[in-house]
Amino acid sequence: MNYIDPHIHMTSRTTDDYEAMRKAGIVAIIEPAFWLGQPRTEVGSFKDYFSSLVGWEQFRASQFGIRHYCTIGLNSKEANNVALAEQVMEILPLFVLKENVVAVGEIGYDDQTPEEDRFFREQLELAKKVDLPVMVHTPHRDKKRGTIRSMEVILEHGIDPSMVVIDHNNEETVQDVLDRGFWAGFTIYPKTKMGNERMVKIVEQYGSERIIVDSSADWGVSDPLAVPKTANLMKIRGIAEEDIYKTCYRNALDIYGKSGNMKESDWASGFEIDQSKLFDGNSVLRGQQPAQTDSKNIIEN
Ligand SMILES: [Zn+2]
């Protein structure tokens, strides 16, 4: 089975991860713009980061047989630095229309401050203007209140819930999100929070309509194989193949495909891998490493 991981921060992962992901059946990924683990101090570092999401990282993924898409946005933590956030808002329009951008995101609330609220709303207006889906990061603290507030604000701005993924759900938020017509993303964290056993129970209870599994893997303790592993566990637990297909592949394609920038034909017939290729003069190879020239070698090694 093929999988899509619609929320993974590959900038912080290794080429070993890319190889393992492709071997496990991941054919496409979405990398949301977020913070770096520490606050940025200059608008230039946002600019270079967004450039890498629409440039180098897309190329790097392609060298391992994976289609890479991204979302562009000002994350909620850094919305609290107002002077910098205002400068970031000025450069966002330059990036949201790039060819591999499938949503504005991840945006929303962290501590639910007035500053976060301001820039969340401004970016919802931007998404409306360019007609892109929205990926919403829900807060890890005070989650239920923050999730409901996020949805109320989105509706207030006149955005159709079918254009929005509310991410990082749990058992306490899923019903509210589905009832209001939004897509519900679930991040599978190893050991803590949402584990894949809990995810299986959610699919058993709520089915697969508008439910999406992702890894949110980044530079923290996380698992870039969370989607295929959860799919395997669903299989073992007797979840219907159709439900696995929808939660671990199809639903992500349906919602982010609304951007017009993500289509199954981008990867369905395979695409040529040539690791001797260069991006701006650089390749993924180091020293005298032999280049892999098709996906078979990478998958079977
Ligand atoms: Zn994230």
CATH code where residue 135 lies: 3.20.20.140
pLDDT reported for residue 300: 42
**Does 289 reside within a domain?**
no
What's the whole-model pTM score?
0.94
As a whole number of angstroms, the distance between CA 120 and CA 155 comes to 13
| Ligand 1 center from residue 11 Cα (angstroms) | 12
Q: How far is the CA of 245 from the centre of ligand 1 (A)?
A: 23
Q: How far is the CA of 290 from the centre of ligand 1 (A)?
A: 34
Summarised one tens digit per residue, pLDDT across range 57-104 is 999 999 999 999 999 999 999 999 999 999 999 999 999 999 999 999
Strands 183-187 and 26-32: unpaired
Position 276 in a domain = no
DSSP 12: G
- DSSP label of 8: -
At 246-291, the pLDDT tens digits run: 999 999 999 999 999 999 999 988 777 888 888 888 888 887 777 7
The answer to whether residue 205 sits within a structural domain is yes
Within a domain: 69: yes
Share of the chain above pLDDT 90, in %: 85
108-132: pLDDT as tens digits: 999 999 999 999 999 999 999 999 9
Distance 297 CA to ligand 1 centre (A): 31
Distance CA 224, CA 25 (A): 12
Q: 178 in a domain, yes or no?
A: yes
Half-sphere exposure in the Cβ direction for 219 (13 Å, CA):
7
Two tokens at 154?
Answer: 């989105």
Q: Are 73 and 89 in contact (CB under 8 A)?
A: no
User: What pLDDT is stored for residue 149 in this prediction?
Assistant: 98
Select from 102, 20, 93 the least CA-distant residue to 69: 102
Decide if 285 is inside a domain: no
d(CA 92, CA 115): 17
Task: Copy the structure tokens of residue 159.
Answer: 């955005």
Give the number of domains in the chain: 1
Q: How far does the centroid of ligand 1 lie from the alpha carbon of residue 8, in Å?
A: 7
The two three-digit tokens of residue 57, written as one number: 């990282």
Place of tokens 């306490």: 172
Domain of residue 84 covers 3-267
